[in-house]
């Protein structure tokens, strides 16, 4: 059976949720080894495993190998369901809450190369606010942002500003601690059993189909009028007329139907807020995921925000969080307080393709 130590040794020690994919497990394993040793693992070490002389690395490797095995992971999940039926105490919940809810922004990594500092944001309560904080604290001449890698390149003169924004930023003049502990992400403390919801009877389609079959059989066996036989030649003529019918081509112009054209957009982050106004403090309409593409139908005049539609909602997202396929300059310009077109008028999402 699973005890409290094994609960901590698998999902919790890797810092992932129970529904994490294999890619997430690989990234979490690499991150924990990097935070503990300061080294980046290559693919060969990821497959073979790390050194077992370090107790922490041995425990980390054990959790990663077990969760990477589908059969062992399923067995472990079933044991977790039974073990988590025991509620946690208030003290245990408070400790877990502090561990999974860090108060400030964290960096997933930082390195010094060619006279620059390269950092990447790993966690933040509001990524847009952190992005604005870096832009306001560091002048444009001392920073550069790579949207594809979500990576900042900062002049070393602004170490103080970075240390004020990110809790785990390491200054060059400060000795590095033996282990840099980061925030841990975990699922709920207890998984409630599924509730039984009464379902409506779903046999109506079969009942309707059965009635139609009986009606057809009755019409064949007991026709309403037997005195007028159907001519085979007339039937053939009718079939020939039906087969010769060709549908008219549609001449409707989709551009004239009122829908707005747009460009395909791909999110650069796992999730991005769709906001009611083009500002970081604007109300959130929906949390967009990167598992599909969206249609970009407009922009601000300075190209700092784009108008995006999901098919149900239309709102604003920051330009640095989405990659637009095409020329954004050809998109119509909307004002900050201008009423945006509705989802039906805008044309909806691409659903993953043009």
The string of pLDDT tens digits covering residues 116-153 is 999 988 777 778 888 888 999 999 999 999 988 888 89
Residue predicted with more confidence, 144 or 254: 144
Residue predicted with more confidence, 352 or 291: 291
Instruction: Indicate whether 129 belongs to any domain.
Output: yes
Contact (Cβ atoms closer than 8 angstroms) between residue 262 and residue 311: no
Full residue range of the structural domain in which residue 313 is found: 260-346
Instruction: Indicate whether 244 belongs to any domain.
Output: no
Instruction: Indicate whether 223 belongs to any domain.
Output: no
Tokens found for residue 156: 């070393």
Considering the chain, what percentage of its residues have pLDDT values greater than 70? 69
**pLDDT greater than 60 at residue 182:** no
Question: Do 105 and 158 lie in a common domain?
Answer: yes
Instruction: Indicate whether 248 belongs to any domain.
Output: no
Tokens found for residue 230: 């159907």
Question: Do 329 and 282 lie in a common domain?
Answer: yes
**pLDDT greater than 80 at residue 183:** no
Question: Do 44 and 129 lie in a common domain?
Answer: no
Indicate the residue among 46, 70, 86 that finishes a domain. 86
**pLDDT greater than 80 at residue 241:** no
Indicate the residue among 187, 214, 241 that finishes a domain. 187
pLDDT at 213: 92
pLDDT at 349: 46
CATH number of the domain enclosing 293: 2.30.30.40
Indicate the residue among 136, 156, 187 that finishes a domain. 187
**pLDDT greater than 90 at residue 19:** no
pLDDT tens string 261-303: 789 999 988 889 899 899 988 899 888 998 888 999 999 988 8
**pLDDT greater than 80 at residue 44:** no
Question: Do 111 and 24 lie in a common domain?
Answer: no
Total domains present in the chain? 3
Instruction: Indicate whether 231 belongs to any domain.
Output: no
pLDDT at 4: 47
Phi and psi torsions of 333, nearest 5°: -100, 130
- DSSP code at position 166: B
Three-state DSSP at 271 gives: strand
Highest mean pLDDT out of 36-40, 166-170, 171-175, 312-316:
312-316
47: left (phi over 0), alpha (psi -120 to 50) or beta: alpha
Question: Do 26 and 113 lie in a common domain?
Answer: no
Helix/strand/coil (H, E, C) string of 279-346?
A: CCCCCEEEEEECCCCEEEEEECCCCCEEEEECCCCEEEEEHHHEEEECCHHHCCECCCCCCCCCHHHH
């Amino acid at each position: 059976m699973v005890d409290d130590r094994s609960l901590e040794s698998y999902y919790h020690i890797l810092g992932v949720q129970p529904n994490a994919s294999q890619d997430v497990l690989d990234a979490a394993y690499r991150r924990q080894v990097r935070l503990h040793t300061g080294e980046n693992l290559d693919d060969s070490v990821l497959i073979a495993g790390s050194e077992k002389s370090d107790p922490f690395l041995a425990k980390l490797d054990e959790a990663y190998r077990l969760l990477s095995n589908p059969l062992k992971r399923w067995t472990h999940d079933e044991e977790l369901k039974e073990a988590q039926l025991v509620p946690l105490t208030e003290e245990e919940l408070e400790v877990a809450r502090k561990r999974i809810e860090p108060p400030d922004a964290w960096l997933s990594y930082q390195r010094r190369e060619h006279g620059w500092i390269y950092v990447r944001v790993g966690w933040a309560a509001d990524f847009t606010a952190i992005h604005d904080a870096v832009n306001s604290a560091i002048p444009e001449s001392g920073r550069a942002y790579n949207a594809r890698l979500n990576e900042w390149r900062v002049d070393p003169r602004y170490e103080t500003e970075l240390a004020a924004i990110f809790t785990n930023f390491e200054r060059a003049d400060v000795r590095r601690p033996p282990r840099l502990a980061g925030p841990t992400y975990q699922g709920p403390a207890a998984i409630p059993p599924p509730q039984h919801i009464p379902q409506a009877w779903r046999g109506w389609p079969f009942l309707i189909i059965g009635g139609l079959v009986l009606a057809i059989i009755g019409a064949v066996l007991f026709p309403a009028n037997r005195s007028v036989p159907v001519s085979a030649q007339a039937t053939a003529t009718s079939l020939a007329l039906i087969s010769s019918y060709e549908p008219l081509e549609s001449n409707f112009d989709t551009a004239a139907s009122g829908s707005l054209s747009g460009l395909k957009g791909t999110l650069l982050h796992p999730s991005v807020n769709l906001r009611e106004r083009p500002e970081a403090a604007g109300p959130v309409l929906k949390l967009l995921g990167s598992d599909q593409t969206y249609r970009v139908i407009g922009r601000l005049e300075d190209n700092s925000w784009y108008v995006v539609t999901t098919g149900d909602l239309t709102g604003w997202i920051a330009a640095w969080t989405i990659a637009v396929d095409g020329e954004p300059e050809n998109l119509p310009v909307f004002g900050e307080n201008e009423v945006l077109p509705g989802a039906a008028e805008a044309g909806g999402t691409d659903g993953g393709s043009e």
